[in-house]
Structure 1
Amino acid sequence: MSLEIPRPIDPSLHPLVSGNYRIATPAIEAFYELVMRCLRYRIMGALIYGPSRIGKTRAIEYVRLLLARDYPKMTTYHAQCEHKPRHAEGPFFANLLEAVGDYDPNAGTNPSRRMRLALRIREAAARAGSGTVLLFCDEAQRYNENEYEWLRDVHDALDRQQIKLFTFLVGQQELLSQKTALQIAGKTQIVARLMVEELSFYGIRNAEDVATCLNGYDQTAYPEGGEWTFTRFYIPQAFDSGYRLVSDADTLWQAFEAAHHKANLAGRLAIPMESFARAVEIVLKESELRDSAGYCPEAALWTYAVQHCGYVQSRHATGRVLVAAA
């Protein structure tokens, strides 16, 4: 029985148990390519927009991991834009100070917070040995025009100190409407600094996307550099006899498609990463007890996993239509 086969780590510490792992999707790869393009061409700001719960926050975390691996001298930050009844300068700068690791983000006057924010970023850039800093603003549709102006001020202050700040505004589709409204209002200075490039973020849109993601489980090892991929960790006998999750890409896509149509959900199917990952986790955890040489999950197990991964439930709860990009 596979549970008796010794694993390199305690199974309770595996990332699949904690949920602390990231699998690349075609949309995440497009996001990373956008970041690379902005860095290469010195484009200081971009919009990444898409429906809620499609995986944008996970994408930011994954892109930051890739940047840390490929460009260790670059400094990156992830700011979570907060919903505020009043768009005041103090909370705005406190939020950014928290994102850059300030020890007391709420302390001081507004001018002192502005100065401290630039100082913290400058210190981090000096430690890292690069004058390039990337700021990912999550749920950026919560910003208003004043906050975009303050963000532009931060850019200008750092620019005077030879630090290039690249800002990626990540949020829902309202972001695109905000850009249009700013253009109509003649606020071109905001658009030209923070909103030059655009990327429509999407879920998993077809069987090929499913295969790309499943391949991540088949290829990603934990501990890193070892032979225990995520798939092998749960079903080592099946894995060693040739089974790979990627071979079930069509089956999983069809299971999501069937659930989508059965629930009469509007729009084309685009699977959020959260639902997708949970379905795969269910299959691996259920398969662990059934593992044997020659084992492969039955189609019924994939159907069961889709039923319990929360896809239909979350769509009904939000009442939102996930529109896949063309």
Structure 2
Amino acid sequence: MVQTSLFNHQSSQRPFLPQDTHPIETGKYNIPTNEINKLYEKVKNSIQNRLPGTVVHGRPRLGKTRAISYLVNTLPADFGNMPIYTLLCREHSKPNEDVFFTEILKDVGHGLFASGKATAKRDRLMKFLLERADAAGQSRTVFFIDDAQRLHELQYNWLMDICNELDRHGVNLTVFLVGQNELLNQRSVFFEEEKYQIIGRFMVEPYKFYGVRTLEDLYECLLCYDEDSIFPADSGWSFTRYYFPKPFEQDFRLHKYAAELHDVFITLRQEAGIGKPFEIPMQYLTRTVEYVLRRYGCEGEDVNDITRNQWKTAIKGSGYIEAEIYRAPE
């Protein structure tokens, strides 16, 4: 989201942007929700205590992938240039060591990820990780593994090999397994099969990640659109101000609609007969807000106020109600 800007903080002139380049159009932005801030503290403590691994699990579309992106960009404030890598766990019917190390090499940014056999790729990966840690002057390295519910037992063993090899050279690797609630099922299976080495290395303290569950959560998210999400960087133009420039001057703020929006979500759930615990995955909340900004802001209908019916239309358009109706029980 951060880009170089020619606009200063005091600029009263709405920034001119090429079409479809604003983060609301591209979707390339992160909102530091209450839940993400809680997760940040959990991750920070795990790294500081040199824990080998932590499970972060939750239902689909809660914003776990975006949370990883936020953490990767924010952790340097506490840990300097410590090497942090995001790995995507792809779906494979059978684990393959060559493929496993090829994909990790690719995800960590190594230019030679495809050449050689599995053993050569393993050695190349270890050399790369050790060199990066040494260059950063760090004895710690972090892996975030997204969609980790796809990991097979063999792949956990290969991960342990990586941890052990790094540890032998004085580098601590902390692995965050981020994925759906199936991760807990895998943990239970490992318990039943007495695979304690996997549990002890990666799954000691599961952490459940939630979406927006309270009025306070919703308020904080909307406040970010009003104050914290600035584009272009240092321009002083928050997302809300950019799409509602004139109303913004008259104290229009999305966070002032938090209570009403919360009530609309509850009402629509009741009308649809949804009895599951209240939770809004971030994907649907951001879709709702983006709809309002685009449809009713200065590039759309250019209104001065958002009505209850307009919020209803935005929520329905996000797909939230349908998703909740067919949401699997936990």
| Structure 2 residue aligned with 1:159 | 167
Residue of structure 1 equivalent to 2:294 = 285
1:95 corresponding residue in structure 2: 103
Partner of 1:234: 243
Q: Deviations over 1:68-103 (max 9, x none)?
A: 444331111111101101112111111211111122
Residues 244-283 of structure 1 mapped to structure 2, 5 A cutoff: 244-283=253-292
Structure 1, residues 38-88: CA drift from partner, whole Å, max 9, x if none?
012221210001111221111111111111444331111111101101112
Contact preservation (8 Å) 1:79, 1:136:
yes
Q: SS in structure 1 opposite 2:170?
A: coil
Q: How does 1:82-231 map to 2 (within 5 A)?
A: 82-220=90-228, 221-231=230-240
Where does structure 1 differ by over 6 angstroms across 4 or more consecutive aligned residues? Answer: none
In structure 1, distance between residues paired with 2:144 and 2:251: 40
- Taking only the aligned residue pairs, the percentage that are identical comes to 35
Shift of 1:218: 1.0
Aligned to 1:307: 316
The equivalent of 2:6 in structure 1 is none
What is the total number of aligned residue pairs between the two structures?
Answer: 315
Structure 1: distance between partners of 2:137 and 2:280: 40
Q: Deviations over 1:100-136 (max 9, x none)?
A: 1122323211111111111121222233332221101
Counterpart of 1:81? 89
Residues 1:136 and 1:258: Cα distance change in structure 2 (over 3 Å): same
Instruction: Provide the residue aligned with 1:320 in structure 2.
Output: 327
User: Alpha carbons of 1:71 and 1:239: their partners in 2 closer, same or farther (altered >3 Å)?
Assistant: farther
Q: Which residue of 2 aligns with 1:59?
A: 67
Q: Secondary structure at the match of 2:295?
A: helix
Q: SS state of the match for residue 84, structure 2?
A: strand
Report whether the alignment pairs 1:10 with 2:25. Answer: no
CA distance in 2, matches of 1:247, 1:57: 28
> Secondary structure in 1 aligned to 2:75?
helix
- Structure 2 counterpart SS, 1:308: helix
Q: Is the 8 A contact 1:237 1:291 kept in 2?
A: no
Aligned mates of 2:288, 2:34 — CA distance in 1: 18
Residue equivalent to 2:5: none
Amino acid at match of 2:306: P
Alignment counterpart, residue 25 of structure 1, candidates 33, 36, 40: 33
Query: Which shows bigger deviation, 269-278 or 118-127?
Result: 118-127
Decide whether the 8 Å contact of 2:14 with 2:245 is kept in 1: no
Is the Cα–Cα contact under 8 Å of residues 55 and 207 in structure 2 kept in the other structure? yes
8 Å contact kept, 1:77–1:136: yes
Deviation at 1:258, TM superposition (A): 2.2
Q: CA shift at 1:143, angstroms?
A: 0.9
CA contact (8 A) 1:236 1:291 kept: no
Amino acid at match of 1:143: L
TM-score between both structures, scaled by the size of structure 2: 0.90
* Post-superposition offset of 1:322: 6.8
CA-atom RMSD, angstroms?
1.9
- Give the Cα–Cα distance (whole angstroms) in 2 for the partners of residues 262 and 158 of structure 1: 55
What is the rounded CA distance, in whole Å, between the counterparts of 2:113 and 2:267 in structure 1? Answer: 49
| CA deviation profile, 1:272-292 (whole Å, cap 9, x unmatched) | 111100110111122323557
* Structure 1 Cα separation of the partners of residues 208 and 289 of structure 2: 25
- Give the aligned partner of residue 9 of structure 2: none
CA distance in 1, matches of 2:98, 2:274: 42
**Amino acid corresponding to residue 209 of structure 1 in structure 2:** D
Hey, what's the Cα distance between the residues in 2 that align with 1:230 and 1:64? 23
In 1: Cα distance, 2:329 partner to 2:42 partner: 22
Structure 2 unaligned residues grouped into runs of 5+: 1-11
Q: Evaluate the alpha carbon distance shift between residue 273 and residue 39 of structure 1 in structure 2; reply closer, same or farther with a 3 A threshold.
A: same
Which amino acid is 2:244 matched to?
Answer: I
